[in-house]
Structure 1
Amino acid sequence: MGKFRTPIGARIRRKRLASGLSQVALARSLGISASYLNLIENNKRSIGGKLLLRIGERLGIDLKHLSGESEARTIAAIGELMADPLMSGIDIEPQTIRDLVARFPEAGTALARLHSAYADASTEIEVLQHRLKSDPLLSQLLHEILNRIAGIKSGAEILADIPDLTDDERGRFISNINTEARELVPATQSLVAYFDQTAARQRPVSPLGEVDEALIANNNHFPELETVASLLRQEVCGTGATDEPTVVEALRRRFGIACRIGGNPAAAGESVLAFSDTLPRSARVFRMLRTYASRAASAKLSEVADRLDLSTEEARELALRALSSYVAGAMMMPYDEFLDMAETHRYDVDLIGNLAGVSFEQAAHRLVTLRRKGREGVPFGFLRADRSGRLTKRFPLPGLTIPGFGHGCLLWPIYDAFATGGIVRQLSAFPGGGRFLLLAKTVSKQTPRFGQKPLVFSIMLACDIVHADRTVYGDGLDLGGMPVEVGPSCLPCPRLHCGHRQEIPV
């Protein structure tokens, strides 16, 4: 399989021609050769970092559109579609998919949407099948209807097949058929009403997935919420830090909410935010700030949630919680201060988390949001997995193929981290040719009591290898050496001879 290159070359070429520039003129202004620019425009060379910024500035293309993130998501979605057993026997080369998206982006988007709709419909069918088997009311209604249909059928067959019935016998069978038919009507009406009621309150197949996609489409960065966070931080603690006593007092003063840790009882009529005494201090402060933000900035949060264009109220509620969490994280780790700290210490997550007074996971998640135009941090992808290997939170990057649900590749360091006590790092090559520095560490969500099993997750950050030397995690690694060949997950992975495969490949 050829190298993965997000098909942005055609976009650069179209913009160059529209600007009336020759390849030679644009190449000269960029400080590269015309032959190298020709390779870029024909998607034969990948670009990133400063060169990508210079091309965007010279041609007036927003980096968000030039980075090819939307095309990468479309390519990944079409790849998932082709991995579906339904497509068995249809062989389309990965390069053909990339060419399709490059030349006809709208057609690629249409295929991706159709695949998403198909996946949702398939899941809904499974849900309905489960209901047919397990819902006692539905089973009872269907049983009654089938019994009455069987009674009508039996009576009708007797009338049709036995010619020597007496008038009394014939009348009795006709009466029975009439009775069964009359009783069949309300039973059928009840069934229809049942489906109408359950359809009206039916939950979407994946409201969480819908929210994830909406956040990813916004690059997980919301400038207006950064402004809100700055104002709320000033309101809560002035120029000081977001320490726990200050936040506790702010909640009490503005909203009359008392914070209680462990078994401390609430006073009569008191509004209480309760925390387990096993919860770390940074997690308590985060939840306090999320509560503060959800109340103090409810109008702005609702405005942003409305713009996400979510399909259900449940998805909207999940989005409001996610946006409140975004503000809480930005209050604990102000954008400019945190970015400067990250750059100074070369993205040493443990160190900058300690300096900021936050957990490893909180610092890692904040790094993903540093996407302000003109002042971006290293672009990181983010993954979280539980002990079973199930992915519970994700934020992908172009070329970093991450399944939307389920488990990932066994060769990712996110799984190795469960067996170690520190950072696990790895240079990895994905099937499309994308090369990434992956780093992972396990974190505990609480301090367990004696005899209590800890709640542990593994956190993984990923950055394109072109940014690896900006981080401490690239030190001592041969960035041009042989990476570990990994995949997205077993089923769609094209590495047919991988010794770690756990599923039969499509």
Structure 2
Amino acid sequence: MGKSRTPIGVRIRRKRLAAGLSQVALARSLGISASYLNLIENNKRSIGGKLLLRIGERLGIDLEHLSGESEARTIAAIGDLMADPLMSGIDIEQQAIRDLVARFPEAGTALARLHRAYADASMEIEVLQHRLKSDPLLSQLLHEILNRIAGIKSGAEILADIPDLTDDERGRFIANINTEARELVPATQGLVAYFDQTAARQRPVSPLGEVDEALIANNNHFPDLEDIADTLRHEVSKASELDEARLVEALHKRFDITGDAASAGEPRPTFSDALPRHARIFQMLRTYAAHAAADGLSATADRLDLSTEEARELALRALSSYVAGAMMMPYDDFLGRAEAHRYDVELLGTLAGVSFEQAAHRLVTLRRKGREGVPFGFLRADRSGRLTKRFPLPGLTIPGFGHGCPLWPIYDAFSTSGVVRQVSVFPGGGRFLLLAKTVSKQTPRFGQKPLMFSIMLACDIVHADRTVYGDGLDLGGAPVEVGPSCLPCPRLRCGHRQEIPV
């Protein structure tokens, strides 16, 4: 299978030609050989880090545009489409998909969008099938209609097949048919009305999935919200550390929200003493942001162009959480610490007074132009192995839902308390440093089972030596061969396969 690098080289070549530069001239200005630049332009070499920045600066291309992340998502979506059983017998090389996206990006986007619509429609059909089997009201309506039709059919057959009926018997059967027919009308109208109401309430099957895709499309970085977070941070605390008592006072004084009260619309207290301190502060900051920056959050949600009100409400909550995280870990301070301590997530969490998951999630948002951190992908899995949160990277093939590859360290982490590291190679050739650790989302009481998740961060192998997690690993050695999940994975001889490959 061909390499799944995004078509960055095509874009570089076009920009170079538009600028009137030869390969030799551009290569000289970048400090690389012309032959190496030729390999890059033909998508035969991966690039990242400082070289990618230099190329972007020399050709005047934004890093976000040059990195090809949107194209990577489109390539992955088309790959999912080709892995669907519906496409059985159609063999399209991975290189052909990349070439299509490189030369005709709009066509690639159209295919990805159609596949998403097809997936939603298929899931909706499954939901309707389930309802036909289990919905009591629908079952009652259908049962009544079938009984009425059976009564009409039975009476009609008797009238047609028995010629020697008396006039009284014939009249009785005709009256029964008329009664059943009259009763059939309201039953059928009730069924039609039921489906009309269902159609009126129809919405995308997964509003959460729609919100996730919108956040991913923005690289999970929102400059406007970073500015809002800085402003709100100074409102609630002038000191370097957030003070819980001052937060309680600010919420009560400005919004009449007491320390043990939930934010608007939430059914239970969110500032419980049973929560760890970092969780209480996060909940307070999210509530404060939701009230103090309602207009800014609403404007950002509007730009996400979501299709339902439910998705919009989920987005507002996610954006409030984004602001809360940025208030707890201001961008410049956190990036400075991350660089100084080589992205040691546990240490960064301790210094910022946050959890491992909060620190890991904040690392994913460090995408400010000209001041980016190491680009990380992020995954969260529950004990069943189901992925509950995801932020992919180019070349890091992640399923949109369900379970991931059993060889990922995200699953190994459940059997240990420390950080699990692994150098992995995906089927398309992308090499990544993967690290994972389990976290508890709540403080359990006696007899209560803790809610456990595993958090995994991933970065391209070219950035591994910028992190403490690359120390002691053979970054150039034989990596662990992994996949996205079993169904679309092309590694047919993998002994860990749990599903028949497409």
SS of alignment partner, residue 258 of structure 2: strand
1:106-255 alignment runs, 5 A limit: 106-255=106-255
Quote the residue 2:374 is aligned against.
378
- Tell me the amino acid that sits aligned with residue 503 of structure 1: E
Give secondary structure in 2 for the equivalent of 1:452: coil
Name which of 488, 498, 502 aligns with 1:502.
498
Aligned mates of 1:163, 1:306 — CA distance in 2: 72
* Structure 2: segments with no counterpart, 5+ residues: none
Count residues with an aligned counterpart: 498
2:396 to 373, 382, 400: 400
The CA deviation at 1:274 is 4.6
Q: Give the one of 420, 423, 430 matched to 1:427.
A: 423
Q: Tell me if structure 2 keeps the 8 A contact 1:491–1:504.
A: yes
Residue identity opposite 1:494 in structure 2: P
Query: How much has 1:38 moved relative to structure 2?
Result: 1.8
Q: Which residue does the alignment assign to 2:11? A: 11
Which residue identity is paired with 2:405?
C
1:293-304 mapped onto 2 (5 Å cutoff): 293-304=289-300
Cα displacement (A) at 1:166? 4.6
Structure 2 residue 73 is matched with structure 1 residue 73? yes
- Cα 1:274–1:385 change in 2 (3 A) is closer
AA of the residue aligned to 2:256: G
CA distance in 2, matches of 1:128, 1:412: 34
Q: Distance in 1 between matches of 2:297 and 2:163?
A: 76
Tell me which moved more, 378-387 or 237-246.
237-246
- Give per-residue Cα distances to partners, 1:259-311, cap 9 Å, x unaligned: 139xxxx9xxxx99454433110001000000000001111111111111111
Distance in 2 between residues matched to 1:318 and 1:149, nearest whole Å? 46
| One-letter code aligned to 1:224 | D
Per the alignment, residue 286 of structure 1 pairs with: 282
Superposition pairs of residues 440-455 of structure 1, within 5 angstroms = 440-455=436-451
- Return the offset for 1:95: 2.0
8 Å Cα contact 2:275-2:443 kept in structure 1:
yes
Specify the SS of the correspondent of 1:382: strand
Structure 1, residues 189-222: CA drift from partner, whole Å, max 9, x if none?
A: 1111111112223453101000000000000000
Residue 307 of structure 2: SS of its match in structure 1?
coil
Give secondary structure in 1 for the equivalent of 2:55.
helix
Per-residue CA deviations over 1:168-187 (Å, capped at 9, x if unaligned) read: 44444333333322222211
- 2:378–2:390 contact (8 Å) kept in structure 1: yes
Residue aligning to 1:463: 459
Q: CA deviation at 1:492?
A: 0.8
The one-letter amino acid of 2:200's match is A
Are residues 1:314 and 2:287 paired?
A: no
4+ residue runs of structure 1 moved beyond 6 angstroms? none
Cα offset for 1:376? 0.4
RMSD after superposition: 1.8
Matched, 1:346 2:342: yes
Identity of aligned residues (%): 87
CA distance, structure 2, for counterparts of residue 323 and residue 428 of structure 1: 32
Check the 8 A contact 1:6/1:399 in 2, yes or no. yes
Runs of 5+ unmatched residues, structure 1: none
- Is 2:271–2:284's contact at 8 Å kept on the other side of the alignment? no
Q: Is the 8 A contact 2:270 2:283 kept in 1?
A: no
Aligned residue for 2:260, secondary structure, equals strand
- Alignment match, 1:415: 411
TM-score (norm 1): 0.95
| Counterpart-to-counterpart distance in 2, 1:449 and 1:172 | 71
1:481 aligns with 2:468: no
Give the direction of change, closer, same or farther, for the CA distance of 1:231–1:413 in structure 2 (3 Å limit): same
Contact kept in structure 2, 1:260 and 1:272, CA below 8 Å: no
CA separation of 1:55/1:153 partners in 2, compared to 1, >3 Å: closer, same or farther? same
Please tell me whether the aligned partners of residues 257 and 272 of structure 1 are also in contact (alpha carbons under 8 angstroms). no
